[in-house]
Amino acid sequence: MPRHVLFLLRHALIGCALAVLFVGGLIAFDVARLGELVLHSSNGLLAALVLTVALAITFGSVQMGFAVMLLGEDDGTGGRRQMTPRPALVPVRVRSRDAMIRRTPRRID
């Protein structure tokens, strides 16, 4: 399998694992009485499964995007290219509109 597919798959699985931990935490800590609802309802396990799948898709996508955005650009030497520093900001004087209006002579007809 290509390296980039394995990279995305690995990070998708990390996001899915985080989703399972998150739903487990929601149920274990009984956030908004969700744990009680899941454990005492006849369809509670189905609801927990649906919530886990939905959050796994979301967290997996976010984790993949996060990993891709953190990729550095290779400079050919095996390291990451250093970002060039930004040029220093130089202050510029700008005359206000009121100052320009006051300096223009008025014509009297």
> What is the SS3 string spanning 34-83?
HHHHHHHCCCHHHHHHHHHHHHHHHHHHHHHHHHHHCCCCECCCCCECCC
pLDDT of residue 97: 72
The string of pLDDT tens digits covering residues 7-60 is 999 999 999 999 999 999 999 999 999 999 999 999 999 999 999 999 999 999
CA angle 90, 92, 97 (to 5 degrees): 160
pLDDT at 65 over 70: yes
CB atoms within 10 A of CB 14: 16
pLDDT at 106 over 70: no
